Copies of this chain bind each other. A is one copy, B any other.
Amino acid sequence: MSPAELLPRVLAAETRAIARAMRMVDDRLPGGLDLLKGLFPHTGKAWILGVTGNPGAGKSTLVDQLIAGFRAKGLRVGVVAVDPTSPYTGGAILGDRIRMARHATDDGVFIRSLATRGHLGGLSHSARDVVRVLDAAGFDVVLVETVGVGQDELEITRTAHTTLVVMAPGMGDEVQAIKAGILECADVFAVNKADRDGADATVRDLELMIALGNESIRALSRTRGHATHTARDAHVAGDGGGDRDGRWTPPIVTCVATRGEGVGGLVDALERHRAWVVGTEAGRARRKARLAEEVREGLREALIDAAVHDLGARIDEALAAVEARRVDPYTATEDLVRAFRGGAS
């Protein structure tokens, strides 16, 4: 089927057409790019919800519950499960997918796994494009679930409007995970398995971390001469939400996904964030910044592709010269850029 034939069927949300479009896009098949171009004007309506957190935190079970929660509200739900781990461990996440099988016969739910390509930029790229297919097909919510909380996963969740970080007590690595940049990307925290020992401690750690983060931001604002804030402005971390300066403080929601406890509250917290993204200047600025980031990222990739195409053997020659230390890598790079700019072919 050509992209032109496929396009209206995707827009009509035909399941097989969606699956085919995703494969075309994900495998970078010919026509995939044309299809994406055609789909783009029909995108921008879905709420893209990233779900990340350490393996073992119960993400899959929680995603399963979130699907049910959104379905109960009559929303159509797409799920993209991304596994950027080593090829040696491939397959583990596919087992998790089985847990979501109960939605398999529901036309209002579409689940797709993206396996690693061994290429970082490529994976977040693929995830974004696959999400776009679901967006154009009219899914109201698209959940993007990642396996862990590495740098690559954080990059993928950056494409989301709302990022949910799932934690569980007693995993010993919560604080490390936060250190690794989680706080900057989390819009809502879920402390899952909240019936276990240590759940309170995990919540307290998170509250402290969020409060410190906010203090840091306030301290920065002060030194930069922005509006200053008093203690009264500070939200209790556990409540979260948007403040009058347009900043969002991540709420912390406790839940027990296996029993469905707390999932309603979690859906509420997520929807409050959605309202903040859509309804405030700060939220709109963030969406804009992420689209800008995509274009710049795409430009970066396209430029290197074009340079490799145009310069061809010149790149290999430069590499050989650097290897022999006849040329330094800095000069070699400058020469290659100059040649490309000059329209080498």
Residues on A facing B (Cβ under 8 Å): 33, 36-37, 40-41, 43-44, 54-55, 85-89, 120, 148, 150-152, 171-173, 176, 179-181, 183-184, 209, 212-213, 216, 288, 291-292, 294-296, 298-300, 302-304, 306-307, 310, 315, 318-319, 322-323, 325, 328-334, 336-337, 340-343
The answer to whether B325 touches A41 (Cβ under 8 A) is yes
Assess the B85–A180 pair: CB atoms within 8 A: yes
Residues of B within 8 A of A171 (CB): 172-173
Closest to A305 in B: B337
Contact B180 A334 (CB under 8 A): no
Could you list 22 examples of A-B contacts with CB < 8 Å? Answer: A33-B330, A37-B328, A37-B330, A40-B328, A40-B329, A41-B328, A55-B176, A85-B180, A86-B184, A88-B183, A89-B179, A148-B176, A172-B173, A173-B176, A296-B315, A298-B329, A298-B333, A299-B336, A300-B304, A303-B304, A303-B340, A341-B343
A343 to chain B, nearest CB (A): 6
What are the residues of chain B within 8 A of A152 when measuring CB–CB? 151
Q: Which residues of B contact A307 (CB under 8 A)?
A: 299, 303
Q: How far is the CA of A310 from the CA of B310 in the complex (A)?
A: 18
How near does chain B come to A344, taking the closest CB pair, in angstroms?
10
- Residues on B with C-beta less than 8 A from A176 are 54-55, 148, 173
Q: Kindly list chain B residues whose C-beta atoms are within 8 Å of the C-beta of A299.
A: 304, 307, 315, 333, 336-337
Chain B min CB distance to A320 (Å): 10
Q: Are A37 and B303 in contact (CB under 8 A)?
A: no
Q: How far is the CB of A310 from chain B (nearest CB, A)?
A: 7
The CA-CA distance from A330 to B329 in the complex, in Å, is: 31
- Interchain CB contact under 8 A, A86 and B323: no
Name the B residues within 8 Å of A298 (CB-CB).
Answer: 329-330, 333
Does B181 contact A85, Cβ atoms closer than 8 Å?
A: yes
* Closest CB in chain B relative to A16 CB, distance in Å: 24
Contact B150 A36 (CB under 8 A): no
Chain B residue nearest in CB terms to A54:
B176
Starting from the known contacts A44-B325, A341-B343, 11 additional A-B residue pairs (CB-CB under 8 Å) come to: A37-B328, A37-B330, A85-B179, A87-B216, A88-B213, A148-B180, A151-B151, A151-B152, A295-B332, A296-B315, A300-B304
Asked if A330 meets B88 with Cβ closer than 8 Å, knowing A291-B319, A303-B337, A304-B296, the reply is no
